[in-house]
Structure formats: structure tokens, C-alpha cells
């Protein structure tokens, strides 16, 4: 048995989860479930990012002490993940002792480490720059559009303080080499090119501590400062599995897959491997970056009023359909636009009239014409083994189309041969067709398990029962 360690980003607690966060988490769950079913020992990690100025301010605004605030908001995430049937194995919170201990240890080790050029990795210096609180990062003039952060539409503030710095500039050649050799695969390929581009532009040293942010992990060797929230956050991938000494760490590291959206590529594609290299820790095997979506052509925002709440989708479509509609809304890996108006159409077309109807039609024939028994053992006319291959490469979109094609194929086949008439005129031959379709339905049911776990179990259970019945619609019609 091999291990498979997969992570999502840990989500900021300054705001409540929206379908963007659900999107990444469902994608990770699909991949985790795939490997688990294949028999691998999966460790699926998610969690919340709880320190830093952004969260301290949000807590203040809510009139709560930061710890109380994060305790409350973190539960909103974990309970949403339960509602979405997310099969995570651990939920790390950066305000937990186990995490803070690892962060301190990591920083202490960095303090004693040397760069490839035999200089100290960390040094102290005065710094002044433009800081975007939304990004929790310093910005260059060139990152801004008319002086405004394009991602957060806010004006960065000028920050001047004494900080500890990470000598990232010494890691240029090492990072280039490691990425060139695919020591850490960056997928899709365009994202790898982007990272190579970042390195080519030249890597600037960055501050790993903050002088004026109280809400964070204290720097163990300079307790006036707290650890920069991104450095703190990235270490979650290690702290959750007991770095540096626990057997769990030794078994699970390096991570097999860090999954995330494109907004945080630089942190995972440059800073994280540099931090790990500085301490001689193996790099994660792969990072996969998916695209960002807008809603009806606009960035989701409270001001525009187009924020889609996952709970609303759950209420309207139910659990499995919500997972399915979200993950198949646009091609995984690319940017996309979500039109909530198309969800109803897709629910009806693909799920209710496609899959649900296929199951009803076939099982109805088994129930009515073959006494509830699959007449003969006939292999499936289509194999869906490629679904797994696609999932292994995070090609979630292709995996879904393969399944959808099989559903369309089966429904069209039934129509073409007029199976409901054939059962009356040529029962034996129709029995072979019906049996083949049952085998295909089983394939479809199994292939759907990572995407829609309960529906998948329902399909297989109905096919396995001693006396097969048509049963209730898989996807009831919605108003
Ligand atoms: N806390 C950091 C991550 C630290 S990881 C060591 C953070 N948190 S976040 O709450 O802002 O979550 C960002 C992630 O949410 C994105 O990388 C992406 O996975 C997901 N998404 C948020 N909005 C999204 C869209 N509109 N579209 C697609 N994914 C989205 O960054």
C-alpha cells in the first residue's frame, strides 16, 4: 500500500466560505476519494489560516477577541465541509499549539541555516514598501493597476519597519534547477512557465516577520516580532503531520499534491520550495493550480451582490448534485465563468434526465420484464478505466466528460433500438442488451464515487439487490 498525501490551501478566516473555497475543497476530495478507493493510504488535509493583520482587523470589526473570532469562524468552515461530504483526515488550524510549536521550530532552524552561497538564511534589516493587507504581501509598483491592487481593489499602505528577512535572492539557481528537473512538478504546464518567469525576473529577499502585528506566532529569537502570516501558513503542511520527528511525518512527507487556485501560485511555487530547501526538506512532489472563476462575468463580491452561498446550492440541488454542478461548471485548471442560471438546466439535462433517467429506464425493464433479476452476465459495452487515469493527472474535466459520454451513449442506444418494444418482441435479445446496460450502469456508478459518493452507492446498491426495482428518481425535479 502506498501513501497519498493531499492538501488544500488553508482558508483565511476574515470572511466566511463561498463557493470558491468549496470548489478547491471538493476537487481535493474527489482526488482523495479516488486514491482511497484504489487502496492507497490517503491523508487528506485541509484547515484554516488564522493569524495576521487581516484577521486581527476582522475580529476587531466583529467586536471579538481574535481567538474567539477564529474559533467561531473556523467552525463555519469545518461544518460546511461536513455538509459537503468532504472526507478530510485532518483539519489544521494555525492557532493550534501543535502548529505554533512547529512554526517556532522551523524558524529556529532557519535562523541557524546557511544559503547555498554560505550566508545566513535570515538577516535583520529595515524595510519600507507598499503592503496589501488583502494579499498579506508587499507589492511592487508593477503589480498594481493605477496604484490599486488588482485582486483586492484597494490601495496598499506604506509600511516601514525593522524585520527579519529571508535571503531568497540566494536561491535563484537552486530553484531554477529543481523546477527544471521537476523535483517539484508544477501543473498545468503554463503555471510552471509562470514560476520560471518569476525566477527570471529575479527573486527579492522577503520579510519573514512583522513588527506591528500582534496576532501571530512570536519569533522565537526576537519576541517583539511575529512570524509573517504566509510563512506561518505554509508550515501547516508540515505541522499537521508532526514535523520534524513524528513517524507520521516520516511516512507521509513529501506531500503528493498541494492543490490551490492561481492566486497563490507564487507562494507555493517559489517561497515554499525555498523555505524547504533552506532546511534540506524534500519538496512536495506536485502542485496543481486550478483557475479562478467569476460569476456572471464579474468577480464574486458582496458589493456587486453576486456571491453564491454553498448552502443555497445545497438546499436547491442536494449534496451530490451541488458537488457535481460546481466541479463541472467550467474546465478544471482553466479560468471560467459561472452562470447560476445554467445550474438548473444542467441539473435537469445531465443529472435528472441523463443519469437519473438512464437508471430508471433500465431498472424498470429489469423489474417489469425480467422479474427483478439481471437476465444474463454481459460485460459493459464501455469501460471507464480512463476516468481514473485522468484523475491521477488532475484532469477532472476529462474524467467527467468520459462519464457523461457514457450516459449519453447508453440513453441514445436505448432510444435507437427501442428497447421498450424489443422487450416485447424479442425478450431474449433484449435481455442481453438490458444486462449489458446494467453492467455499464455499474461502471458509471463506480466511476462516479469520488464525485457523488451517495449517488454512486445508491446506484450500485440498487443493481446489487436480490429483487431489482426501479426505485425513486435519483435526482428529483426542482421547482
Ligand atoms: N490563506 C491563504 C492560503 C494559505 S495556504 C498555505 C489563502 N486563503 S483564501 O481563503 O483566500 O483561499 C484562497 C483559495 O480559495 C484559492 O487559492 C482558491 O483555491 C480558492 N478560491 C477562492 N476564490 C475562488 C474563485 N473565485 N475561483 C476559484 N477558486 C477560488 O489564500
Q: Among all chains, which residue has been given the C-alpha cell 437476465?
A: 375
Mean pLDDT confidence for 198-221: 94
What pLDDT, in 10s, does the model give residues 310-368?
999 999 999 999 999 999 999 999 999 998 889 999 999 999 999 999 999 999 999 99
Query: 457 falls in which pLDDT band (50, 70, 90)?
Result: very high
Mean pLDDT confidence for 280-285: 98
- Closest of 328, 266, 261, 310 to residue 85, by C-alpha: 310
Dist. CA 240 → ligand 1 center (Å): 19
pLDDT of residue 208: 97
pLDDT of residue 278: 98
Dist. CA 61 → ligand 1 center (Å): 22
% the chain with pLDDT above 70: 100
- Of 16, 17, 18, 23, the one to substitute when testing ligand 1's pocket (max ligand atoms within 8 A of C-beta) is 23
Query: 479 falls in which pLDDT band (50, 70, 90)?
Result: confident
What pLDDT, in 10s, does the model give residues 151-209?
888 899 998 889 999 999 999 999 999 999 999 999 999 999 999 999 999 999 999 99
Residue 304 has pLDDT above 80, yes or no: no
Mean pLDDT confidence for 374-395: 97
Query: 127 falls in which pLDDT band (50, 70, 90)?
Result: confident
Nearest CA to ligand 1 atom 28: 292
Dihedrals phi, psi of 465, to nearest 5 degrees? -75, 155
Distance CA 15, CA 76 (A): 10
Residue 92 has pLDDT above 90, yes or no: yes
pLDDT of residue 137: 87
Nearest CA to ligand 1 atom 15: 21
Dist. CA 24 → ligand 1 center (Å): 8
Mean pLDDT confidence for 63-76: 98
- Of 28, 229, 260, the one to substitute when testing ligand 1's pocket (max ligand atoms within 8 A of C-beta) is 260
Residue 303 has pLDDT above 80, yes or no: no
Dist. CA 360 → ligand 1 center (Å): 39
Atom of ligand 1 nearest to the CA of 9: 5
Distance CA 44, CA 87 (A): 7
Nearest CA to ligand 1 atom 17: 261
Residue 104 has pLDDT above 90, yes or no: yes
Distance CA 155, CA 137 (A): 13
Sign of CA dihedral 147, 153, 158, 159: negative
pLDDT of residue 33: 98
Other Cβ atoms less than 10 A from the Cβ of 360: the count is 16
Mean pLDDT confidence for 41-48: 98
The rounded mean pLDDT for the chain is 96
- Residues lining ligand 1, Cβ inside 6 A: 9-12, 20-21, 23-24, 49, 233-234, 236, 260-261, 263-264, 292-293, 300
Which active-site residues does the annotation give? 18, 21, 132, 135, 149, 152, 299, 302
pLDDT of residue 101: 98
pLDDT of residue 339: 87
- Of 7, 8, 9, the one to substitute when testing ligand 1's pocket (max ligand atoms within 8 A of C-beta) is 9
Dist. CA 334 → ligand 1 center (Å): 15
Query: 369 falls in which pLDDT band (50, 70, 90)?
Result: very high
Atom of ligand 1 nearest to the CA of 264: 17
* Residue 7: all three cell numbers together: 492538501
pLDDT of residue 159: 86
Please, which residues have CB within 8 angstroms of residue 18's CB and are 6 or more apart in sequence? 300, 307, 308, 309, 310
What pLDDT, in 10s, does the model give residues 228-262?
999 999 999 999 999 999 999 999 999 999 999 99
Nearest CA to ligand 1 atom 23: 20
Atom of ligand 1 nearest to the CA of 260: 19
Q: Which helix (H) or strand (E) holds 93?
A: strand 90-93
CA distances from 47 to 30, 97, 333 (A): 17, 14, 22
Dist. CA 9 → ligand 1 center (Å): 7
- Closest of 13, 29, 105, 117 to residue 327, by C-alpha: 29
Residue 286 has pLDDT above 80, yes or no: yes
Beta strand 137-139 pairing with 157-166: unpaired
Give this prediction's pTM: 0.96
Dist. CA 474 → ligand 1 center (Å): 32
- Of 10, 14, 24, 394, the one to substitute when testing ligand 1's pocket (max ligand atoms within 8 A of C-beta) is 24
pLDDT of residue 466: 96
Residue 229 β-bridge partners: none
pLDDT of residue 212: 87
pLDDT of residue 307: 85
Mean pLDDT confidence for 384-412: 98
pLDDT of residue 387: 98
- Rounded to the nearest 5 degrees, what angle is found at the Cα of 326, between the Cα atoms of 325 and 331? 100
pLDDT of residue 296: 84
Amino acid at each position: 500500500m502506498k501513501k497519498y498525501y493531499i492538501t488544500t490551501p488553508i482558508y483565511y478566516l476574515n470572511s466566511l466560505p463561498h463557493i470558491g473555497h468549496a470548489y478547491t475543497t471538493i476537487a481535493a476530495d474527489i482526488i482523495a476519494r479516488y486514491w482511497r478507493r484504489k487502496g492507497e493510504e490517503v491523508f487528506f488535509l485541509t484547515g484554516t489560516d488564522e493569524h495576521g493583520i487581516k484577521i486581527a482587523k476582522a475580529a476587531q470589526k466583529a467586536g471579538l477577541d481574535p481567538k474567539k473570532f477564529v474559533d467561531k469562524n473556523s467552525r463555519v468552515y469545518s461544518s460546511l465541509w461536513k455538509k459537503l461530504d468532504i472526507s478530510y483526515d485532518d483539519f489544521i488550524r494555525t492557532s493550534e499549539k501543535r502548529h505554533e510549536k512547529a512554526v517556532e521550530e522551523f524558524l529556529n532552524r532557519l535562523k541557524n541555516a546557511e544559503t547555498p552561497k554560505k550566508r545566513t538564511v535570515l538577516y535583520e534589516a529595515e524595510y519600507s514598501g507598499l503592503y496589501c493587507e488583502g494579499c498579506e504581501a508587499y507589492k511592487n509598483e508593477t503589480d498594481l493597476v493605477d496604484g490599486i491592487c488588482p485582486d483586492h481593489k484597494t490601495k496598499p499602505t506604506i509600511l516601514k519597519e525593522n524585520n527579519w528577512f529571508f535571503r531568497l535572492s540566494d536561491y535563484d539557481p537552486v530553484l531554477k534547477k529543481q523546477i527544471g528537473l521537476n523535483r517539484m512538478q508544477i501543473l498545468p504546464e503554463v503555471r510552471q512557465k509562470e514560476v520560471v518567469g518569476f525566477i527570471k525576473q529575479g527573486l527579492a529577499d522577503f520579510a519573514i516577520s512583522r513588527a506591528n502585528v500582534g496576532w501571530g506566532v512570536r519569533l522565537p529569537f526576537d519576541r517583539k516580532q511575529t512570524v509573517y502570516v504566509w510563512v506561518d501558513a505554509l508550515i501547516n503542511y508540515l505541522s499537521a503531520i508532526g514535523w520534524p520527528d513524528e513517524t507520521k511525518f516520516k511516512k507521509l512527507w513529501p506531500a503528493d499534491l498541494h492543490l490551490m487556485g492561481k492566486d497563490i501560485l507564487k507562494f507555493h511555487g517559489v517561497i515554499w520550495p525555498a523555505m524547504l530547501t533552506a532546511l534540506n526538506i524534500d519538496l512536495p512532489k506536485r502542485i496543481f493550480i486550478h483557475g479562478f472563476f467569476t460569476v456572471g462575468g464579474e468577480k464574486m463580491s458582496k458589493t456587486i451582490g453576486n456571491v453564491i452561498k454553498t448552502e443555497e446550492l445545497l438546499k436547491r440541488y442536494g449534496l451530490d448534485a451541488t458537488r457535481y454542478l460546481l466541479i463541472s461548471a467550467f474546465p478544471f485548471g482553466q479560468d471560467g465563468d459561472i452562470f447560476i442560471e445554467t445550474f438548473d438546466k444542467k441539473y435537469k439535462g445531465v443529472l435528472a434526465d441523463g443519469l437519473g433517467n438512464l437508471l430508471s429506464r433500465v431498472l424498470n425493464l429489469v423489474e417489469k420484464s425480467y422479474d427483478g433479476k439481471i437476465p444474463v452476465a454481459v460485460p459493459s459495452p464501455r469501460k471507464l478505466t480512463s476516468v481514473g487515469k485522468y484523475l491521477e493527472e488532475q484532469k477532472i474535466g476529462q474524467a467527467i466528460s468520459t462519464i457523461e459520454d457514457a450516459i449519453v451513449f447508453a440513453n441514445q442506444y436505448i432510444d435507437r433500438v427501442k428497447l421498450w418494444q424489443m422487450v416485447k418482441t424479442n425478450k431474449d435479445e433484449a435481455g442481453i442488451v438490458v444486462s449489458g446496460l446494467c453492467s455499464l450502469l455499474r461502471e458509471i456508478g463506480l466511476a462516479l464515487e469520488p464525485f457523488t459518493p451517495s449517488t454512486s452507492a445508491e446506484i450500485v446498491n440498487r443493481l446489487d439487490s436480490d429483487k431489482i426495482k426501479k426505485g425513486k428518481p435519483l435526482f428529483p425535479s426542482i421547482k
